[in-house]
Structures are given as structure tokens and as C-alpha cells.
Structure 1
């Protein structure tokens, strides 16, 4: 049998922990060492349900990856950006303006504000559906649905999207920060510092926990849960002063239903029958499929108008 050899690659060094005192979001921590028993899954599903109806985010620890494996994953991710010549990168460009496709998105695709373009490189790797099945089971249990309800909507052989995104956010020149009014794209936990809008109306930082996953549900789960699980508004902001000047690297996993799934509430859920259902569309017949929703969002992202609203920025589609 051939041996598995790990090629030697440079070690990615992340920005050092900030010494500034910041206001952090108090998020639930789900311990996946309990996932192996029905009792453990029931306990975790209650935690998840509480998290998703209060903060909208949660951490997962004891998920099966060691810290060393986590570190190696980031080392490998950085090779796609720092270890590949620019002329070779051009061979792997993907048209991510209109659809999330495998391959590289170069910097400068999205307009931020004031004529400033983004400083992000993405590399997307499609299509593995296995990594999120346990989390889908917990979302179903939280609605008192059969465990496989959402798992069965996302199958490997069906047409649909699931992908890993390697993402590197490079520091922006000071003059561009002024032009863009210090606005950064509202992207996943990547790039600069990550903050979320809390129920009390305040923005709080999401604290880094070594070898923990940060999870939120997204739009599709909001639709399928009849508004019970609400994805929290989140954004990328400038990091604390002592972390500026560093690039940021993230590894993100997106899980979506099969393309032909209609994004309508699961009416059979006893939880929804008790708490009520909030529809985005007045008639379920008007609800989009997963394919129509994801393609619509992807084609509009970065091409929308930004307007000031109070002390913050809203996106006008």
C-alpha cells in the first residue's frame, strides 16, 4: 500500500491575539463529544435551538479535529494564495460574480464604496455534503422533526451546492479606508475582525476560541423553519489597532439544500405549530427553490448600492 506523505509547506502564522479590551458576544458552546447518544443529541438540540433564537451563532468544540490538524488545514489553505505564482493563479479563475464555482476569485471583483474594490481572494472547492449532516440533525431535532429531515434535503448525488471556501483578506491601504468610510464586505468569519449584531442592537466582536468552529444557519434555514431560526446580521470590520497590517485567512464551509428544494416552512413541526410561522412570501407557491435563491444572491453580491442609515450602513438590493 502506498504511504501517506505530507509534503512540507510553510506554516501560516496568524495575527497575534489583541491586547485591547473589546466587547465580545456571549455565544453558546456546543460540546460535540456528546453527539454519540440520543440523550446527548437531545441536550445539544436544546442548546442549538436556544442559540438560534437568541444570538443566531454558536461554537462547536470537540468536533473531531485536533489543533494540529486545524493548523495544518490553514497551512494548506495559505498555499493557494501565498505559494502559487500570480500567472499560475490565472489558470484557475472562476466567474464567481454570477455563481459560486470551483476555482479562484481574484481581488477587486466587488465594489465596496468610494471607488474602492475588495482586497479578498477566494478559492472554492465544491462539492462535499458530509461534513454538516450532524448539525442538520440538531436543527431538525430543535424543531421536533425527524433527525434526517434536513439531511435528506442535501444529498451528494443531487444537483446542488456545498463547498469549502479558502479565503484570504489582505490589509487595505489607509487611504482606501478613508475612501470606503472604513466599510468592509459583510462576509463570513473571515478577513478583518468579525462582529455580529446582538438582540440589544449593539455590535459585538466574535471571540476566537482555539480549535472551535463558529456556526450560523443562513437564509435557507430561516425559510425552512418558518422564521424560527433567524440568521444574525454580521459584518467584517477593521481589527483592533494592534492587529492591523496582518492578512487574515479563513476556511469556511457552506452547506445548502439540493437545488430543487422549495424553501417553504416545515408545517409539520410541532414547534412551529406552537410558536407560529413567519413567511417571507405570502404564498408558499411563490417561494424560490434553493437554486433560484442562491444564484440571485450571488449575482447581486458586491453590485448593490450602500446607504447610510443612522450610525451604520445598510445594503439596498
Structure 2
């Protein structure tokens, strides 16, 4: 079902302005959109389309390689959860195996201190030009993400630079996702239903397939808009806003045609303690949780190589952490 009217559109061009009033106007529009819907479209003069096209060309070339070439950078060999994700590696609880392959890119830190499993040097593939096709896009969108954090701070009644000291070493992740041509995938999920774990996500995709849960619990399609990126609220922003914004459950369904998708997930520094920043109505209590610990805890319950480490006793998770599915809207019950 398509219901484009459900998703608001926000022009964030004003966030690049030196005029504080223009930035506040964008923050107010962003606040209204996020209260109304955990998913929205964002447009802006600051988006560089040439970098999007370069990223897409890089992804096409990478995923066209044979399996052996791609598996040389298998994510299970990395120190910071970066690298190639083959079909079947990732599975959300209660969902079938995802029909996709991916390459995950994190902040490329030169050192790994051994305490933060999502920080460290990326496991880059040997393919010539891959890094040069990916990093400029990552850095470009990261700068826009910092502007959006300023807008969220303003929208929540905080100083515009409230989050700035906590954006020095965030475990932001860019995923290059490839949904292969699969005519038999009429009712097989590309990605099962889930919320994103981080604060918010910016998504660039090449084709339809994304669905979200509307406020009334219906699944609706997210139509393609060539002039806009899709943005959605994640678990941590739901917590930070004390439920003012809701992480919206989404999935990718019915992808018979080849599709590429490039979400960049934005979060705060690994050790930042995520807790409500504004008063709530008292109907729900969000326990504080360290940003990176929450992210890794959720990730370790999805990826096969991390599940295997848990089974061998090499990785122990904190049972006090919120389990997957703790956030967001729920699907309406079948009649």
C-alpha cells in the first residue's frame, strides 16, 4: 500500500546558514515532522549528488566481483565489525534470512584499544578505487549529520551545540547494500522488520521496496523521491527525546529487481550515556545505556559470526540491555 502523504518533507538547507533564525526554523520543522512520523524525506542544497553517483558506481563494481573476492574482506575477520556481509549472515529475530549482501564501513580509526568493538581500522577490500569511492561520501554525509544533531538539540530545547562534544568518535556506520535480482522473491524479505539502533539514519536507495509502519499500525510503501533522502528516527533518539520521537519499524519487502541501498546510521560517541534529555509524561521509563554498548549488543544478536562467538563463550552480552524490538511502533494485529 502506498501512502506518500504519511511521510513529511523537510528542507534542511537552512542548517548550513550563518543565520541562527534560519537554523531554528529548520529545527522547528524537523521537530514537527519527527513528532508526526518517525520517517520523513529530507532535501537540502548541501547534498552533493556527484558523491552519491560515485558511491553507486563503486558499489556496482564491488558487488559484481565473484564470491571469493568479496569474502576476502568477510566481516568476521575484522576488528571493528566492518567488511563484507554475505547473503544469510544477518538475520533479525523472528524473521527469515535477509535476501541481501552488504559491505559495512565504520569510522576508520587508526587504532583499536580492544575495549570498543565497533571502533578501529576498517577492513578494506583490495579492489582499486573502493576506498576513494566510499570515504568522501561517508565524510560528506557525516558533516550533514552533525548539522542535524544541532537541529535536534535545538528542537529539544537544548543549546544548539549540546551534542558537539559527543561527536568526536562515534561508531557511525555506512552500509552498502545490494539486493540481487531475484524473480522468486515475490514475498521474501530483503530485510526483516526492525528499528534502527542509533539516533537517526539517512538513506539513499536506487529503487522501491522500503516499507514502514504508519501510526495506525499499517505497513505502507515509501515511494522513491529522486530529490530527497529518506530519514528515520532510531532507538537512541527515541530514548533521548523521552518518547517525543518514536523509532519506526521498517522492512524491505518484495525486491524482485536489483536494488542498491546506502543507509548511514548516526550515533553519539561510544561511551556517551544515552538517557532522556527532556521531561516526559511518566508513562514510560527509558533506562540509561551507553551508546556503543547498546549498538554492539543489538548487532551481536543479528550477525552469524557474532552469534557463533557467543555460542563458543568468547562473547558475553549484558542481559540487562534492552532486547531487540524494545522500541518503535508495532504492526496492527490481523483482523
TM-score for both structures, normalised by structure 1: 0.73
138, 150, 173: which one pairs with 1:163? 173
- Compared CA separation, residues 114 and 33, structure 1 to 2 (3 A): closer
User: 1:279 offset after TM fit, Å?
Assistant: 4.6
Q: Which runs of 5+ in 2 are unaligned?
A: 108-138, 197-202, 305-322, 326-330
User: 1:114 offset after TM fit, Å?
Assistant: 10
What is the CA–CA distance in structure 2 between the aligned matches of 1:152 and 1:258, rounded to whole Å? 9
1:144 and 2:157 correspond: yes
62, 82, 100: which one pairs with 1:102? 82
Matches within 5 A, 1:105-144: 105-111=85-91, 117-127=97-107, 129-144=142-157
- Compared CA separation, residues 38 and 209, structure 1 to 2 (3 A): same
1:130 aligns to what SS in structure 2? helix
Q: Is the 8 A contact 1:25 1:198 kept in 2?
A: no
1:300 and 2:264 correspond: no
Q: Is the 8 A contact 2:100 2:191 kept in 1?
A: no
Alpha-carbon deviations, 1:240-290, whole Å to 9, x = none?
A: xxxx3x111011111111111111111xxxxx34x5366544xx5xx2211
1:58 aligns to what SS in structure 2? strand
User: 1:220 offset after TM fit, Å?
Assistant: 0.8
What is the CA–CA distance in structure 1 between the aligned matches of 2:283 and 2:80, rounded to whole Å? 29
Q: Is the 8 A contact 1:61 1:213 kept in 2?
A: yes
2:273 aligns to what SS in structure 1? coil
CA root-mean-square deviation: 3.4
What is the CA–CA distance in structure 2 between the aligned matches of 1:112 and 1:288, rounded to whole Å? 21
TM-score for both structures, normalised by structure 2: 0.69
1:311 and 2:334 correspond: yes
Corresponding residue for residue 288 of structure 1: 289
Corresponding residue for residue 219 of structure 2: 203
Q: Is the 8 A contact 1:66 1:211 kept in 2?
A: no
- Compared CA separation, residues 171 and 87, structure 1 to 2 (3 A): same
Alpha-carbon deviations, 1:118-141, whole Å to 9, x = none?
A: 321111111155341011011111
What is the CA–CA distance in structure 2 between the aligned matches of 1:167 and 1:67, rounded to whole Å? 19
24, 39, 53: which one pairs with 1:71? 53
Corresponding residue for residue 192 of structure 2: 185
Corresponding residue for residue 153 of structure 1: 166
1:161 aligns to what SS in structure 2? coil
User: 1:172 offset after TM fit, Å?
Assistant: 4.2
Q: Is the 8 A contact 2:210 2:250 kept in 1?
A: yes
Q: Is the 8 A contact 2:84 2:104 kept in 1?
A: yes
1:53 aligns to what SS in structure 2? helix
Corresponding residue for residue 35 of structure 2: 53
2:147 aligns to what SS in structure 1? helix
Corresponding residue for residue 73 of structure 2: 92
2:171 aligns to what SS in structure 1? strand
2:299 aligns to what SS in structure 1? helix
Q: Is the 8 A contact 2:86 2:100 kept in 1?
A: yes
User: 1:147 offset after TM fit, Å?
Assistant: 0.8
Aligned length: 268
- Compared CA separation, residues 213 and 278, structure 1 to 2 (3 A): farther
Q: Which structure has greater strand proportion?
A: 1
